[in-house]
Structure 1
Amino acid sequence: MLSWEYPPLLIGGLGRHVHALATTLAAAGHEVTVVTRHTPGALLEEYTEGVRVIRAPDDPPAFETSGGNLLGWAMAFNHTLTRAALTAARTGRYDVVHAHDWLVAHAAVTLQSHLDVPLVATIHATESGRHQGWLPAAHNRTIDDIERWLATGAARTIVCSAYMKREVGRLFGVPAGRTDVVFNGVDTLRWRSRPRAVAAARARYAGDGPLVSYAGRLVYEKGVQHLLAAVPILRERHPDLRVVIAGDGPYREELEAVATPGVTFAGFLGGHELTALMGASDCYVVPSIYEPFGMVALEAAAAGTPVAVADTGGLAEIVEHGVTGVKFLPGDPATLAAATGEVLADREYARALALRALDRVRQDFSWPAIAAQTVAVYERARACDARRVSREAESLLVHVPATRTALL
């Protein structure tokens, strides 16, 4: 399994997804190796939670990543990732290579070819989707091409929602029959914070009024700017409202510049700090313009918090309005304020939403079920690969007289 992030290095939801999938597969008896980036203080190789983790250190040359252009860095990273993975392969036998997103594409294709095993690719998001269909610069168009190459070259392509299945079909031409929808999972126990920690987070952030929170990368497509625009509307009815923005990213400075009173930028929160914030919140808001799945909405639900989400992408599939949460129009601060205000105004309604959402998370998004579905995809990939090998063998057969055949 190849991923550009893995604990203790976490940038967004992808690292948490890969970690949960890998450890759940290992707990089910599968041998799993994760090859990922190294981070200071972590071991280069270790067995942890049943998973063999290989962390590839950066090569000495430094690559500038300003302006969102990660291509130079990504190419260098794929070289060190490939070397680390090939070294790991000397001491193990692998049945499938599983690549997570374009940042590991070159290493994944090299491994697939070298090991002669099927490649499975999970497309967590697309460059086109992140930019609302606009690919403004050469590096954006190159990333789009790499995503297409990875998705079309894989034996099976995994996506996290029906929305994403349509997207990779439309953008990349991946046949629907070769694309598998496997939802992201949530460990409900991991997101339940202790009452004392919740009380401390509430005392720190909420004051005397209701508390609304958001956590994630601070980038344009996450829509935090629309949450900030809704704050003055919400404060007309709830003057003591507090809003906490947890996370970091290239858009932070611009967001801080337009924030109004009552808004706190908490920076990146990890572990118990984030679960405590979620548990302390009266409503958790996901204002994304583009969201292939929306795992953070399920994490908030697992924390026992009612959610308000933009009615877009995968969020539209996992949240039922008025049943497991409330929805609003993406990019519309007025409907965001109205939906969030409904939750804040009626505590019994909010509690009912939270309880039903938690029940659905437990039923439909448990990691053992998600891991089992992923194994089924691996088996389909191996079956596809076996048919490929058979066709290649047949193409080498030539008929000779007396019904004899020779394999050339």
Structure 2
Amino acid sequence: MRVLMVSWEYPPVIVGGLGRHVHHLAIDLAGMGHEVTVITRRPSGTDSLTHPTTDERSDGVRVIAVAEDPHEFRFGTDMMSWTLAMGHSFVRAGLRVLAGDQETAWVPDVVHAHDWLVAHPAITLAEFFDVPLVATIHATEAGRHSGWVSGSTNRQVHSVEWWLANEADALITCSESMRDEVNRLFGPEEIQVIHNGIDVDTWPFAPRPQTAGPAELLFAGRLEYEKGVQDLLAALPRVRRTHPGTTLTIAGTGTQLDWLMETARKHKVTRSVRFVGALDHNALVAAMQRCAAIVLPSRYEPFGIVALEAAATGIPLVVSTAGGLGEAVDDGMSGFTFQPADVAGIATAIRKTLDDPAAAAVRARRARDRLTEDFSWREVAERTEGVYLAAKRRVRHAYGRPTIIERPLPERDPGK
């Protein structure tokens, strides 16, 4: 098949797990013999002079990286305007490069949209080429905000998500919980669940070092409210009372860095916490192989690909049951889990992990063994191929505007 993927991130432009997902999926689909083209973007804040549109082949995948138009929209302050401008540039590039003339035209058999940010170009290109539209919903605005979308931008994002979900000829989510969430929010019932995958070779396993000194814990991810780092910081003093000297390394960047540093001061653990920023791949692997456990305290997590990556390295898992994390980790067998926002539960799960390093290593090995069987990218690609083959472009009908329930967001901690 000729597969056209549309994604707002793709290496080397990576924002989070979505970019890695699209990258691995595209490579494995190409390895299965499909012709895969990805339309994506050049880095933010660039232009067509410094970073012109490129059309190159990498790992068997054709990647069209579109130059940013010469505007002054910024994602952080003009998110919807920036997104619409990006979509417009994607459409122009798609029509110019793919449609071309009759001799050079490349017509896809299916268009695959990844999340709401590419809804407009993906819907437009699928309509232009008259082919089925498949959409993967990686997360939702309502989910990120505890179920409510009361702000103007929140409502705008929610409405585009609703439109994409209802316009798609086939829908994919990465976990059972996300399937239920998308069905509840947007209505479609026919949703395929295809978990994220893991390239085990790039996350090498290493036995846990048996050290007698204080333990080092690790968090890796975006520093945003929904990742729950504030709850981990609140739990750290309790852990240190029973396991003196325990430290926490926080790897990642995000909008809540200053607030989290203040939260560490509030809980009097500043000297026990290191904010190390974004680590490159090798440094992150080294941290996972060094630390006694990785703690992922998400309050909202559609899947949590970092849990798979961590498990591959052999680091014991301590994770919340939010979304896909609860589906990936079997409590007591492949790690320990706790309820989202449960500070006492976080502390208890960490203590049980640190109390018996040998048992923790056994659970970590089980986690790795499971992911190599159930979460390979080839398995993800084969299941996605099945969705492509079954998707049929249906008759289109006009849509009214979605009904959006406006209620104040639940009260949150200061700083959000």
- TM-score in terms of structure 1 length: 0.88
The residue number in structure 2 matching 1:273 is 283
For residues 276 and 104 of structure 1, the distance between their equivalents in structure 2, rounded to whole angstroms, comes to 35
For residues 157 and 130 of structure 2, the distance between their equivalents in structure 1, rounded to whole angstroms, comes to 25
The aligned runs of 1:287-366 (5 Å cut-off) are 287-366=297-376
After superposition, the Cα gap between the structure-2 partners of 1:51 and 1:131, relative to the gap in structure 1 and judged at 3 Å, is same
The residue number in structure 2 matching 1:380 is 390
The counterpart of 2:149, out of the listed 126, 135, 140, is 135
Once the two structures are superposed, what CA deviation does each residue of 1:78-116 show, in whole Å capped at 9, x if it has no partner?
Answer: 111212222231331210000000000000011011111
SS in 2 for 1:35: strand
The residue number in structure 2 matching 1:161 is 175
The residue number in structure 1 matching 2:61 is 51
Unaligned runs of 5+ in 2: 100-104, 397-416
Once the two structures are superposed, what CA deviation does each residue of 1:349-403 show, in whole Å capped at 9, x if it has no partner?
Answer: 111110000000011001101100000000111xx22x659xxxxxxxxxxxxxx
The residue number in structure 1 matching 2:243 is 238
For residues 224 and 213 of structure 1, the distance between their equivalents in structure 2, rounded to whole angstroms, comes to 11
For residues 12 and 285 of structure 2, the distance between their equivalents in structure 1, rounded to whole angstroms, comes to 17
Give, in angstroms, the shift of residue 207 of structure 1.
11
Give, in angstroms, the shift of residue 65 of structure 1.
3.8
Does the alignment pair 1:76 with 2:76?
Answer: no
**Retained in 1: the 8 A contact 2:7–2:40?**
yes
For residues 290 and 54 of structure 2, the distance between their equivalents in structure 1, rounded to whole angstroms, comes to 37
Does the alignment pair 1:284 with 2:288?
Answer: no
**Retained in 1: the 8 A contact 2:206–2:314?**
no
Q: Aligned letter for 2:368?
A: L
After superposition, the Cα gap between the structure-2 partners of 1:35 and 1:207, relative to the gap in structure 1 and judged at 3 Å, is farther
For residues 361 and 368 of structure 2, the distance between their equivalents in structure 1, rounded to whole angstroms, comes to 11
Indicate the RMSD between aligned Cα atoms, in angstroms: 2.2
Give, in angstroms, the shift of residue 194 of structure 1.
7.7
The residue number in structure 2 matching 1:180 is 192
For residues 157 and 121 of structure 2, the distance between their equivalents in structure 1, rounded to whole angstroms, comes to 15
The residue number in structure 2 matching 1:85 is 94
The residue number in structure 2 matching 1:219 is 224
Give, in angstroms, the shift of residue 296 of structure 1.
1.1
SS in 2 for 1:32: strand
Once the two structures are superposed, what CA deviation does each residue of 1:29-62 show, in whole Å capped at 9, x if it has no partner?
Answer: 1111111111379772211111111111111111
For residues 34 and 277 of structure 1, the distance between their equivalents in structure 2, rounded to whole angstroms, comes to 32
**Retained in 1: the 8 A contact 2:206–2:313?**
no
For residues 362 and 35 of structure 1, the distance between their equivalents in structure 2, rounded to whole angstroms, comes to 30
The counterpart of 1:189, out of the listed 201, 226, 230, is 201
Give, in angstroms, the shift of residue 341 of structure 1.
1.2
The counterpart of 2:33, out of the listed 29, 32, 42, is 29
The residue number in structure 2 matching 1:111 is 125
Does the alignment pair 1:18 with 2:22?
Answer: yes
- TM-score in terms of structure 2 length: 0.87
The residue number in structure 2 matching 1:4 is 8
User: Aligned residue pairs: how many?
Assistant: 377
Unaligned runs of 5+ in 1: 390-408
SS in 2 for 1:302: helix
**Retained in 2: the 8 A contact 1:194–1:276?**
no
Give, in angstroms, the shift of residue 72 of structure 1.
1.2
The residue number in structure 1 matching 2:263 is 258
Q: Aligned letter for 2:201?
A: L
Give, in angstroms, the shift of residue 27 of structure 1.
1.1
